[in-house]
Amino acid sequence: MEELISVKRVSKIFEDSGVNTGGSVEAVGKVDFQVRRGEFVSLLGPSGCGKSTLLDIVAGLEPPTSGEVLIAGQTVKGPHPKTAMVFQSMSVFPWRTALENVEFGIELKGMEKKARRERARQVTQLVGLAGFEDKYPSQLSGGMNQRLAIARALALDPEILLMDEPFGALDEQTRFLMGLELLRIWEETRKTILFVTHSIAEAIQLSDRVLVMSARPSVIREEIPILLPRPRTIETLTTEIATQIERRIWDILKVEAAKGMTPDGR
């Protein structure tokens, strides 16, 4: 299996990030990792540790201060056509209907109207929102709107999905169900997914591998393969092995999360 995403010695320092910090912020330390085609990899770490920044760098939305990101061998200099991003908070446009939102990406690429509509319908159905095409986001629930965001990304038929805590704003039950939905979509479409989260449960539920990150400046503390069978159900997720994995991750994160509770984070 080839390496689809290659992150090499990437670091990120924000200069002069504002009056409060008065100086530069080292968001990401030296980070190295690879993602193979078809994998589901999670970046897991405490809040504010810089994992979103790292994802932005992979997405081409932020330039790294040092190092580089390669996607299918090409250096990333801006948003790469093989990638599509799903964001943390409500990112669907309230003035567009569900279908029009899904169309947004392919509309930008210039796909002509009929083909666009057709494609958008297909993807909307794929994420389980068939029948809601003409509703506005204000008429849909949070989970449904996030599914729209995923559909919008999928409409571009990217090889890689970059997801930044997409279920963060949802309650725990919805989160779990959305996770199952995502896994179903992943299995159907066989995309490569790089997923950022601060929830251990979520990371274990979804991923093939979890990259556990430290507090700021973020580096990868440990890489943990999730050797649980798929499909991941409540049963498989509550076995002894799963609990062990969870305990191990928590042991690493405990130290890192505690750093976030002191004023200077060190």
Partner 1 sequence: MSGNAFRRLRGDWLVRTLQFFLLLLAFLLFMGISRVFPFFPPPYRVLSAAGELISGGEINQHLLVTLYETLTGFLIAIILGIWIGLLLGVSRTLALIFEPIILSGYAIPKIIFLPLLMMIFGVGLNSKIANAALHAVFPVILNTLVGIREVNGIFLKVARSMNATRVQTFAKVYFPSMVPPVFAGMRIGLGFCFLGSLLAELFEAKMGLGFLVAHFYNLGQIAKMLAVILLVFLLTMMINAGMKAIENRLSRWRATWKS
In the complex, the residues that contact partner 1 under the rule CB under 8 A are 59-61, 78-79, 81, 84-85, 87-91, 93-96, 104-105, 107-109, 136-139, 156
Nearest CB to partner 1, comparing residues 30 and 82: 82
DSSP states of 76-107 as a string? PSS--TTEEEE-SS--S-TTS-HHHHHHHHHH
Residue reference for tokens 């970046």 = 43
Helices and strands of the chain, counted as H and E runs: 8, 10
- Terminal alpha carbon distance of the chain: 39
- Label residue 54 exposed, middle or buried (CB < 10 Å: 0-12, 13-18, 19+): buried
Nearest CB to partner 1, comparing residues 1 and 108: 108
Nearest CB to partner 1, comparing residues 18 and 263: 18
- Least Å distance between CB 137 and partner 1? 7
Alpha-carbon 247 to chain mean position? 23
Nearest CB to partner 1, comparing residues 94 and 231: 94
Contact 145, 151 (CB under 8 A): no
- Least Å distance between CB 214 and partner 1? 25
Contact 173, 19 (CB under 8 A): no
- Least Å distance between CB 251 and partner 1? 34
- Least Å distance between CB 222 and partner 1? 29
- Least Å distance between CB 244 and partner 1? 37
Nearest CB to partner 1, comparing residues 17 and 139: 139
Nearest CB to partner 1, comparing residues 31 and 161: 161
- Least Å distance between CB 87 and partner 1? 6
| Calpha distance 158→167 (Å, rounded) | 20
- Least Å distance between CB 100 and partner 1? 10
Distances from the Cα of 93 to the Cαs of 97, 156, 188, 204, 263, in angstroms?
8, 17, 27, 31, 37
Q: Which helix (H) or strand (E) holds 225?
A: strand 220-225
Nearest CB to partner 1, comparing residues 52 and 214: 52
Alpha-helix runs per DSSP H in the chain: 51-59, 98-109, 113-126, 142-155, 172-189, 200-206, 234-237, 240-259
For β-strands 66-71 and 25-36, DSSP reports them as unpaired
